């Protein structure tokens, strides 16, 4: 049995097998250890610089530093748009256990808009949990004090300072200066990402928009050290920053100086209080806009600081359209305010002269027509010349001469004064208005009978009705051309801009446009004298306003129908809703010799240009010339 077991169990073979396995294991361990050592040598010796750089990149993040936006001043250096510190309420998601409950309690305290809670919840889920979510961009002093008392009840919620755009005169300058608002998707696609890194707002309207590239500046950057989660580490752990490139400081935007006179702007806005309308005042010898206001207006600070959903709905749903810039975008039938320009066309074409008289019986009819085109004065003006036709605004006189001028020549002469196309003012959004002619109607309505121009349409165009439309800005520019006897400049709002670091100022030069050249300078004298008669002669339409004026003012009233009145119907204002009343218009310039200001006024549904719009124009002129701007 022992010999059998001895033959089965081979101790020598087992020993050799064991020794072989041990040797293989040791060899394998040595190979693996050598591989690890080799890899460590490769990482820490040969690849040190490469991986140290990558490690540093994981710890150091470049953070954009937005630039300080340039300021906006009026022509006297008074601030129209500035940057002020404000406090906003923020929530850090990782520090708040019940975000929805916290937001609900904040809404109950009136600190946030309840309708915005779903949006805040989405932001807290989509953004890194250590990054704050802005809940209220414009905390009031009362809200800050109220929240400070309750802060222990809201862990993870706090208020922090930041710079925000502020408009000291708010509504009075809103349509000229414009406002800034949050960047939209369209803005991000159009703007330079590097220049706008870290920026959350951009100019939306007015000068803020048109001069965005000048006002914005250039973003800088700084290096910050973060931990593995991407959170910034305390300042004491930033020793690595000493080895990094120097941070780039942001370059602030340039300051912009407008040609607007703030006192005059306030006067213009206050003169329209409680009305819908616009006022534009311009320097005839440079094209500089002295005042540009539209009423009703809005507070641009609401957009800069953020507004609630209810506030935005109230603003956009207001039937008086406070966001609508009536001065630049609003188009209205110019009414009789075009008569001075149309008189120039009549004199140049020979349709009338300075001494020709016509009989005004209160109505006019075309040959072989029973239709009567009525004068605003039912009994008529009697025998009247061009001077009286302008001073007393005789419609019949202009009905007659327009029939001789023809619509195409009317169009050509009014075009010389800038009517019917944009003035080219340096803010976006301006509309062209309309001075019709035969070609325009053919293109508008095609070869059908609707595309034919009828003689009666020329008649009503002569008093600024029918298809004719103009903006208050266009009327002010045309009035300035009359004041200068045909010399024209492009209207502009920005007079200069300066580098805030060096103080270097760049002036914007006046841009001369094509002059209105006449065959005789006496025509200008005749038209200006007639416009003087509007304000200062007893039978002038605005004599009650101009009789006690401190300066010699040349003006022209206008009244534009909102709807047509049937041939035999009577216009009875008392039976109509206020929004169906006629628009009131007035244009003027002063002083008579060497004019310094030209003004246009539109008061929607104001009923009478001489009674309602003329006092506004006079108030603006008196405010400007009374402040020492008279020659």
Positions annotated as catalytic residues are 336
CA angle, 459 then 462 then 468, to 5°? 100
The closest alpha carbon to 587, from 472, 499, 505, 484, belongs to 472
Q: Which two tokens stand for residue 625?
A: 């010339």
Instruction: Name the helix (H) or strand (E) containing 86.
Output: strand 79-91
d(CA 421, CA 440): 13
Distance of CA 240 to the CA centre of its chain: 46
DSSP at 430 = -
Q: Across-strand partners of 507?
A: 496
Bridge partners of residue 72, in order along the sequence = 81, 256
What lies within 8 Å, CB to CB, of 34 at 6+ separation is none
Of residues 608, 333, 357, the one with CA closest to residue 460 = 333
Match 């003169």 to its residue by tokens.
271
Dist CA 604 CA 602 (whole Å): 6
- DSSP, collapsed to helix, strand or coil, labels residue 61 as strand
Q: Is 152 exposed, middle or buried (0-12, 13-18, 19+ CB in 10 A)?
A: exposed
Rounded-to-integer distance, Cα 535 and Cα 621, Å: 13
Q: How far apart are CA 471 and CA 601, in angstroms?
A: 10
> CA 496 → CA 122, 179, 282, distances in Å?
45, 19, 17
Residue bearing tokens 């630049």: 328
DSSP letters along 390-429, please?
HHTT-HHHHHHHHHHH-HHHHHHHHHHTTTTS----SSTT
State how far the Cα of 400 lies from the Cα of 423, in Å rounded to an integer.
Answer: 30
Calpha distance 239→301 (Å, rounded): 42
The neighbouring-strand residues paired with 203 are 180
Which tokens belong to 219? Answer: 């973003």
Q: Which neighbouring-strand residues pair with 90?
A: 134, 158
DSSP per position, 111-175: SS-GGGHHHHHHHHHHS-TTS-EEEESS--HHHHHHHHHHGGGSTTEEEEEEEEEE-TTGGGGHH
Give yes or no for a contact between 96 and 281, defined as CB atoms under 8 angstroms apart.
no
Phi and psi torsions of 586, nearest 5°: -160, 135
Cα–Cα dist 280/271, whole Å: 12
Contact 252, 500 (CB under 8 A): yes
The conformational region for residue 288 under phi > 0 = left, psi -120 to 50 = alpha, else beta, is beta
């Amino acid at each position: 049995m022992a010999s059998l077991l001895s033959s089965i169990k081979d101790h020598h073979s087992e020993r050799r097998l064991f020794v072989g396995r041990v040797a293989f294991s040791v060899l394998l361990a040595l190979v693996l250890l050598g591989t690890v050592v080799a890899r460590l040598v490769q990482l820490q010796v040969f690849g040190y610089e490469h991986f140290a750089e990558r490690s540093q990149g994981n710890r150091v993040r470049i953070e954009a530093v937005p630039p300080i936006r340039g300021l906006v001043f009026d022509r006297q250096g008074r601030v129209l748009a500035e940057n002020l510190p404000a406090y906003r309420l923020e929530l850090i998601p990782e520090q708040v256990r019940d975000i929805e409950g916290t937001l609900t309690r904040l809404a109950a305290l009136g600190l946030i808009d309840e309708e915005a809670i779903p949006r805040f919840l989405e932001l807290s889920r989509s953004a890194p949990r250590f990054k704050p979510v802005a809940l209220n961009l414009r905390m009031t002093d009362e809200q800050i004090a109220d929240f400070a008392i309750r802060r222990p009840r809201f862990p993870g919620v706090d208020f922090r300072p930041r710079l925000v755009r502020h408009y000291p005169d708010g509504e009075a300058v809103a349509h000229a200066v414009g406002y800034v608002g949050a960047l939209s998707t369209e803005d991000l696609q159009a703007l330079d990402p590097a220049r706008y890194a870290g920026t959350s707002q951009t100019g939306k309207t007015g000068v803020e928009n048109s001069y965005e590239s000048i006002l914005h500046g250039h973003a800088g950057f700084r290096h910050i050290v973060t931990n593995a989660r991407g959170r910034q580490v305390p300042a004491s752990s930033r020793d690595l920053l000493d080895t990094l490139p120097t941070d780039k400081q942001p370059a602030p935007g340039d300051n912009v100086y407008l040609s607007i006179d703030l006192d005059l702007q306030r006067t213009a806005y206050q003169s329209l209080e409680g009305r819908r309308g616009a006022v534009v005042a311009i320097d005839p010898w440079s094209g500089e806009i002295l005042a540009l206001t539209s009423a009703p207006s809005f507070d641009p600070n609401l957009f800069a600081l953020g507004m609630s959903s209810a506030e935005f709905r109230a603003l956009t749903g207001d039937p008086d359209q406070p966001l609508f810039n009536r001065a630049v975008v609003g188009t209205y039938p110019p009414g009789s305010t075009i008569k001075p320009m149309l008189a120039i066309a009549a004199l140049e074409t020979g349709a009338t002269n300075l001494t020709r008289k016509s009989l005004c019986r209160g109505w006019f009819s075309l040959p072989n027509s029973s239709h009567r085109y009525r004068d605003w004065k039912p009994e008529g003006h009697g025998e009247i010349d061009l001077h009286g036709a302008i001073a007393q605004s005789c419609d019949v006189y202009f009905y007659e001469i327009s029939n001789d001028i023809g619509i195409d020549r009317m169009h050509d002469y009014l075009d010389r004064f800038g009517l019917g196309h944009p003035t080219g003012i340096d803010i976006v959004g301006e509309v062209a208005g309309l001075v019709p002619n035969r070609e325009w109607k053919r293109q508008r309505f095609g070869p059908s009978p609707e595309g034919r121009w009828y003689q009666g349409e020329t008649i009503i165009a002569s008093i600024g009705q029918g298809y004719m439309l103009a903006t208050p800005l266009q009327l002010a520019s045309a009035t300035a051309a009359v004041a200068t006897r045909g010399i024209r400049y492009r209207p502009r709002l920005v007079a200069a801009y300066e580098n805030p670091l060096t103080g270097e100022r760049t002036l914007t030069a006046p841009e001369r446009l094509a002059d209105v050249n006449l065959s005789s300078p006496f025509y200008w004298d005749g038209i200006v004298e007639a416009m003087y008669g509007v304000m200062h002669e007893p039978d002038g339409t605005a004599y009650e306003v101009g009789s006690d004026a401190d300066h010699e003012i040349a003006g022209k009233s206008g009244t534009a129908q909102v709807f047509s009145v049937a041939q035999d119907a009577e216009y009875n204002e008392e039976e109509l809703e206020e929004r169906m009343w006629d628009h009131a218009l007035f244009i003027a310039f002063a002083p008579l010799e060497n004019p310094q200001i030209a003004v246009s006024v539109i008061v929607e549904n104001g009923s009478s240009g001489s009674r309602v719009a003329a006092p506004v124009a006079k108030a603006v002129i008196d405010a400007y010339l009374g402040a020492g701007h008279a020659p």
